[in-house]
Structure 1
Amino acid sequence: MMNDKLVLNETILRQFLASLPTKPTHDVRQTVEILVKIAPEVWQQLPRSFRR
């Protein structure tokens, strides 16, 4: 049975954060907002340009 909670793999998360552009596009910002809702700890790892 599948776990209905999304488990964020830290390695994948780090790679995702490392690949983000310095000036976030609308799509990237939406993705990040969804991620932050799922896993608030992601917020701490975001570059400053995302924290608005």
Structure 2
Amino acid sequence: MPDLAYEQLRDKEQMSGLFIINDRMPVRQAIDELLVLVNCSEQSEWKGVVLYLPL
């Protein structure tokens, strides 16, 4: 997914944000990180963004 997201950004195509979660991250931590993002930001802030978690 990240490669495709970067291709879309490079080609100036519209893209919703993409959150990439480390597969070694505990599920509870991933949920907590996503909840922080949902509660402390607006959906529009993530357009065209690739964000790796943990923060």
- The TM-score with structure 2 as length reference comes to 0.33
Which has more strand, going by share of residues?
Answer: 2
- The TM-score with structure 1 as length reference comes to 0.35
